[in-house]
C-alpha cells in the first residue's frame, strides 16, 4: 500500500510540474500576443533631432542629402536635410512613430513611376506638410497640416513621382507653393 501512495505522490508531483510548465508557456504566449512588435518608445533629447530608444541608445535623424526648394525663377526659398525612402519598406515606414523632426529636415519618398499617389498619417505622431512632385520635380500638390493618426487618404490629384514630408507649417512659413520646384 505504501508503494501505491508513493506512486500517487510522484504522479501528483509530475502533474504539478506539468501544470506549472503549461502556465508559464501560456503566460509567455499571451505576453507575445499583447506586446506590440515594431514599436519602440522613443523620447526626444533637448536638441530635437535625436531620439532615445528603449535601450537608451541615441538615434539620429537619418538625413543623408540636401534638398532645395526653388521659385520658378530659380531663386532659393529654403534648403533642408532629408532622409530618403526609396524601397517599399522604407516608404511604408516613412516618419511613423517619430515624436519629432528637426525644423530644417524632411523625408523624400521616391516612386518607380509617375502616377497619382496617396498618403495617410496612420501611426504618424507629428503633423506634417505633404508635398507631391511630378517627374520634373515641380510641386503639383501640397497637403498642409496633415493630422497625426489620420487614415484619410491625401491624394496628389495629379501624377507624382516624389513626395516630400516636412513639419506642419513649413510651407506657410517659407512661402512654398504649388508650381515651385525642388532640387535634390
CATH of the domain at 125: 2.60.120.1140
Q: In this structure, what is the dihedral angle of CA atoms 89, 94, 100, 102, given to the nearest 10 degrees? A: 110
More reliable by pLDDT, 22 or 52: 22
75 lies in some domain: yes
CA-to-CA distance for 80 and 170, rounded, in angstroms?
Answer: 11
Is the pLDDT score of 35 beyond 80? no
Residues 25 and 70 in one domain: no
- Number of domain units in the chain: 2
Q: Against a cut of 0.85, is the pTM above it? A: no
Residue 165's pLDDT is 98
Which pLDDT tens digit goes with each residue over 66-87? 999 999 899 999 999 999 999 9
Domain interval for residue 88: 62-183
Size of the chain, expressed as the number of residues it contains: 184
Confidence of residue 60 (pLDDT cuts 50, 70, 90): low
Higher pLDDT, 31 or 92: 92
Looking at the structure, tell me whether residues 75 and 25 fall in a common domain.
no
In a domain, 168, yes or no: yes
Predicted local confidence at residue 62, as pLDDT = 73
Do 9 and 89 fall into the same domain?
A: no
Tell me if 8 is assigned to some domain. yes
Any domain includes 80: yes
Same domain, 114 and 176: yes
pLDDT of 53 > 60? The answer is no
Same-domain status, 66 and 133:
yes
Domain for residue 55, yes or no? no
Residues 122 and 70 in one domain: yes
Same domain, 31 and 95: no
Q: Report pLDDT digits (tens) over 149-163.
A: 999 999 999 999 999
Instruction: Please give the backbone phi and psi of residue 132, each rounded to the nearest 5 degrees, phi first.
Output: -100, 135
Residues 71, 156 within the same domain: yes
> Does 53 map to a domain?
no
Residue 20 counted as domain residue = yes
- At 5, list the grid cell: 501512495
> Do the bridges between strand 105-115 and strand 65-70 make them parallel or antiparallel, or are there none, so unpaired?
unpaired
Same domain membership, residue 161 and residue 90: yes
What pLDDT score was predicted for residue 17?
81
Amino acid at each position: 500500500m505504501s508503494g501505491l501512495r508513493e506512486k500517487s505522490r510522484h504522479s501528483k508531483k509530475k502533474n504539478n510540474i506539468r501544470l506549472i510548465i503549461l502556465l508559464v508557456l501560456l503566460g509567455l504566449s499571451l505576453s507575445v500576443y499583447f506586446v506590440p512588435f515594431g514599436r519602440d518608445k522613443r523620447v526626444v533629447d533637448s536638441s530635437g533631432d535625436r531620439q532615445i530608444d528603449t535601450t537608451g541608445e541615441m538615434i539620429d535623424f537619418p538625413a543623408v542629402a540636401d534638398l532645395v526648394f526653388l521659385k520658378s525663377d530659380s531663386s532659393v526659398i529654403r534648403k533642408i536635410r532629408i532622409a530618403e525612402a526609396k524601397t517599399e519598406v522604407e516608404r511604408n515606414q516613412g516618419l511613423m512613430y517619430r515624436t519629432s523632426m528637426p525644423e530644417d529636415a524632411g523625408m523624400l519618398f521616391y516612386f518607380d513611376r509617375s502616377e497619382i499617389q496617396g498618403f495617410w498619417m496612420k501611426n504618424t505622431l507629428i503633423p506634417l506638410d505633404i508635398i507631391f512632385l511630378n517627374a520634373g520635380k515641380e510641386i503639383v500638390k501640397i497637403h498642409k497640416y496633415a493630422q497625426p493618426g489620420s487614415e484619410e487618404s491625401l491624394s496628389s490629384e495629379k501624377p507624382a513621382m516624389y513626395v516630400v514630408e516636412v513639419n506642419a507649417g513649413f510651407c506657410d512659413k517659407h512661402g512654398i507653393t504649388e508650381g515651385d520646384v525642388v532640387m535634390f
